[in-house]
Chains A and B, each alone.
Chain A
């Protein structure tokens, strides 16, 4: 299963950085998280409307911004708590989760949060899952063994990415902070 980045959580994270217009949110989303798949304007505003309905953002004062939209959105305490919980909790250790992890790392750096600690927490979650898979390998069933190996090698690749990212956090922070 490929875990995709949650658009609502990503927009909330961008809003925690500073109150923003919809246009600015789309631009930053496309720059950092879009990877060739720009977020349609319609999805930006429908997502913001849902977040407002759920009390996670409120409409702030109207100020001129880039593009036609003039409403500024502000994150609420409820929204900020949701971002905090999402950043802090490790992702389910399954292969191919780099996109989610990448979004977490970039947002954590933008918000001045301890990205390295989040990655350490993720590493431990990965190692715990790998230990479980290693136990499965000790059984007699060759098919289970091969499946466990498949999982182990993919999680191992995730961990190498985590290590490399930790080593590059300072450079990444410079690239994503205004």
Chain B
């Protein structure tokens, strides 16, 4: 069953077209990788699906509802309560400890501090981060910071995790570890993952991949042209 879909989505930045009628859908629990060269529209499509960007035309659907026609407060609630995010450079808040960073979405959702931190700490064991709870982002390695960011993306139990080049700043082995954990956590919780990457070795962790070029999603059949 389709959980999220972009239909004929067009987005331009000034006179520069970024998406020129992009289509993509993902089922509940499915992991989909969006690949393609720089400037092909991968991140723009991810941001459109996540309700961060409003498309110029086309439709975004999530769980049977139109996202692109929602007002910003409603989209903001959707992002906070049902979506999770991981970006290339983690983007942790440097003033907060690792556990406060993980608890942040819960605190923003109105949860009490003690309960939010308790829930956040549970993720440190799952993601091999025990003992790092009180460290700030400057005291974490790239791989550790990205796992903290992953915990923050998953702490609310999102139905969809949007991951934009989650291993882009990591070496091969560390990136592999992050992907293993991301996929294992998503499978365990039935989370749908929309993964943007230009790295084939990352994309093959997904159930399927689509290739973007010039603002369009390539929908070639997998085995043979024209079959």
Partner-B contacts on A (CB < 8 A): 88-90, 114, 117-118, 120-121, 123-128, 130-131, 133-134, 152-153, 155-156, 159, 163, 166-167
Contact = CB atoms under 8 A, between A and B. Distances in A.
B109 interface: no
B127 interface: no
Given A117-B220, A155-B200, A134 B37 contact: no
Nearest to A123: B211
A123 B201 CA distance: 12
Contacts of A128: 222
B112 interface: no
B24 to A, nearest CB: 16
Interface residues of B, number: 17
Interface of B: 37, 199-201, 203-205, 209, 211, 213, 218, 220, 222-226
Given A117-B220, A130-B200, A163 B225 contact: no
A-B interface, 3 closest residue pairs, ranked by CB to CB distance from nearest: A130-B204, A131-B204, A159-B200
Contacts of B222: 124, 128
A75 to B, nearest CB: 21
A126 B200 contact: yes
**B interface secondary structure, majority:** loop
A121 B200 contact: no
Contacts of A124: 220, 222-223
A128 B33 CA distance: 13
Nearest to A89: B224
B211 A156 contact: no
Contacts of B37: 163, 166-167
B220 A134 contact: no
A121 B204 contact: no
22 contacts: A88-B224, A88-B226, A90-B224, A114-B225, A117-B220, A118-B225, A120-B218, A120-B220, A121-B220, A121-B223, A121-B225, A124-B222, A127-B209, A130-B200, A130-B201, A130-B204, A133-B204, A134-B204, A156-B199, A163-B37, A166-B37, A166-B213
Nearest to A162: B200
Contact of B201 (A88, A114, A152): A152
A149 to B, nearest CB: 9
**A interface secondary structure, majority:** helix
Contacts, number: 47
A69 B225 CA distance: 38
Contacts of A133: 204
B21 to A, nearest CB: 18
Contacts of A89: 224
Kindly name the residue among A127, A128, A163 whose own CB sees the greatest number of chain B CB atoms within 10 A: A127
A124 B205 CA distance: 14
B200 A127 contact: yes
A121 B222 CA distance: 7
A137 to B, nearest CB: 8
Given A117-B225, A120-B211, A121-B225, A156 B220 contact: no
Given A89-B224, A124-B222, A128-B222, A134 B211 contact: no
A127 B204 contact: yes
A62 to B, nearest CB: 38
A44 B37 CA distance: 40
Kindly name the residue among B199, B200, B225 whose own CB sees the greatest number of chain A CB atoms within 10 A: B200
Given A126-B200, A166-B37, 11 more contacts: A117-B220, A121-B224, A123-B211, A124-B222, A124-B223, A127-B204, A131-B204, A134-B201, A152-B204, A156-B199, A159-B200
B97 to A, nearest CB: 33
A116 to B, nearest CB: 8
